[in-house]
Amino acid sequence: MRALPRFARPLRAAFLAILLALPLAWRVVSAHEVPQHVAVRAYVAPLTDRVRLLVQIPMDAVRDVDFPLVAQDALDVPRAAPFLADAARLWVADGIRLRDGARDLGAPQLVAVRATLPGDRAFASYTDAMRAIREAPLDTTVHVPHGQLRLEVWLEWPTATPVRDLVIEPLWAHLGVRTSTVLTLVRADGGLRPYAFDGNPGAVRLDPRWWHAASRFVGEGMHHMLGGLDHLLFVLCLVLPFRQLRPLIGLVTAFTVGHSFTLLASALGWTPDAGWFAPLVEVLIALSIVFMAVENMLGAKLERRWRMAFVFGLVHGFGFSAALQDALQLAGSHVLVSLAAFNLGVELAQVLVLVLTVPLLAQLFRRAVPERAGVLVASAFVAHEAWHWMRERAADLSAQPFVRPALDAALALTVARWMTAALLMLGVWWLMEGLMRRWVWPRNESERTVPGPHLAGHSLPGAVATLLCAVAVTMLGVSAAQAQVAPRSTMAGVYTADQATKGREVFNGMCLGCHTTASHQGTAFQLKWFGRPLFDLYDYLSQAMPKTAPGSLTEDEYVWVTAYILRLNGMPAGKVELNAEPQWLKAVRVDSGSTRNGAGARSAPSAAPLPARHP
């Protein structure tokens, strides 16, 4: 072998040094890797002379703190106290701002901090969390990798007078790539009010006055209306052939009444939370745009148009409610005020759009293109775009499973409720019919008709409108019955395929030595778990696995293992990620294809004891 030239020898030495340093560099990078998802839980309690905050975060979100470690990256508990305090200040206390109205409450005081095992359930309630952080420090014999532990922090803000208007601003988004926070307000009377948000939500007023809620939700309504292209295109198609004042008033009023009806129903909790309902609403919204655009091309009549505006307003109200549901947690005790304010914001946005577009269209049709040609071209473009939306959303809808409700007294009660709602809606329809005839419809027949081919007769459009209205109400009633009669089933896709794949890796690496997949599928699994809340299964896994170190996995790992076991038992993956929130898990029933219909379903007795925890 020929010797390397003299000038190449330093390069070879440098190359070898880089190769030797790569493993060490990889360990350093891995040790400081930002976790993909971080779940933060917190309780805030305004007291007479202070505000108390308890926060729990996963330890793998804590970086730049050199914890004392022993073998296998386990935390050296006896020497860890000052380092835990540093982590609490750096990653929790420095990321929270509290105000009483406009008055800043300053920096918090660190009262206590502790590390806990992932399987510790004390933080499930405020009382237990306070007792644990006071009296239950981590056992010094615990030998678990420190990244799998959780950090619990107790902060306080002393105040001279009771806080009247508490505003909190969490700044914890940097803890992970995606940070989700569940914050619970503990009221003076012992009541609880939960809030959930992702990232940094900005300033959150925890107990708003009615005018605070009203101003916030007017802005929410305007933002949702102006930010939703499908809603804007529908309003444009609705008024494109009718730009006189009286027709505009009638059409906007009909659309407003329609979406207000279903928006109120959604706020009252009458709409289902089944996975297929939101995609169905999106399909119907796209269909409404296609229908309006095609009718514009064929020729629109005002008598038929206001009916369509009312019917499709019902559908768009469900779309508005999807945005309202997440924001309604910020309404405090002023739900109805917030609902009215949100609706007002939607109407203000509609008026703004009409004020800008109607004069612009009038000038365009007067100076640039003939009106009929302009309506045809604009409607054709809108119909083409909405048709593609409808096909894409229909594909999402077809992927959602449907669980039929059981035929029992609860279903009958729900149907009776929705029949009452349908009668109320028909009464509103009759009232609006009279108002439209008297105040809105032009006296001249030519003003009530847009040129173009028309459907023959006047009774058919009205019958179609009435039929569509009845279908919309029936759809809502059956959907609500399905949601209220039976809890959500694991057959409805309550985890993702990616979670199940990760769960298989965790199970094979941590649990397979003591547990086999056979003990968690088939008849053994059915006898133990079918018919019970999914929370029971998750709680058992998080306390009993792995057998050599129960409760030592992270929360995400227990979620993944739960997803993997569901897949082992033939329960399909979906688009919704499984999470560890107890209330969500308790609302999901472990089910299978044989128990979908409710009749003849075999389930474990509800009073059956949980499996004993492994020693």
Spatial separation of the C-alpha atoms in residues 287 and 224, rounded to whole Å: 20
pLDDT of amino acid 456? 39
According to DSSP, residue 145 is labeled B
- Where does 39-117 have alpha helices with state H? 81-91
- Where does 100-244 have alpha helices with state H? 126-135, 210-227, 229-239
Token duo for residue 217 = 């939700």
According to DSSP, residue 476 is labeled H
Spatial separation of the C-alpha atoms in residues 156 and 142, rounded to whole Å: 29
pLDDT of amino acid 460? 43
pLDDT of amino acid 28? 41
| CB 164 within 8 Å of CB 207 | no
Instruction: For residue 532, give Cα distances in angstroms to 362, 367, 373, 604.
Output: 62, 69, 62, 7
Residues in contact with 453: Cβ distance below 8 Å, sequence separation at least 6, in sequence order? 298, 299
pLDDT of amino acid 112? 93
pLDDT of amino acid 158? 94
Token duo for residue 310 = 């009312």
What is the sign, positive or negative, of the torsion defined by CA atoms of 95, 98, 103, 108?
Answer: negative
pLDDT of amino acid 45? 93
pLDDT of amino acid 55? 95
pLDDT of amino acid 397? 83
Question: What domains lie within the chain, and their CATH numbers?
Answer: 37-207 (no CATH), 211-486 (no CATH), 489-595 (1.10.760)
Which pTM does this prediction carry? 0.63
CA 405 to the chain's CA centroid: 24
Residues in contact with 6: Cβ distance below 8 Å, sequence separation at least 6, in sequence order? none
**Which among 59, 95, 93, 89 is positioned nearest to 77, based on CA atoms?**
59
pLDDT of amino acid 454? 43
Which of the residues in the chain have pLDDT under 50?
Answer: 1, 7, 21-31, 445-465, 467, 474, 476-487, 513, 593-615
**Which among 173, 24, 17, 149 is positioned nearest to 74, based on CA atoms?**
149
| CB 56 within 8 Å of CB 145 | no
pLDDT of amino acid 11? 55
Spatial separation of the C-alpha atoms in residues 86 and 88, rounded to whole Å: 5
| CB 295 within 8 Å of CB 236 | no
Spatial separation of the C-alpha atoms in residues 137 and 113, rounded to whole Å: 9
Instruction: For residue 35, give Cα distances in angstroms to 57, 58, 263.
Output: 12, 10, 38
Residues in contact with 311: Cβ distance below 8 Å, sequence separation at least 6, in sequence order? 258, 465, 468, 469, 472
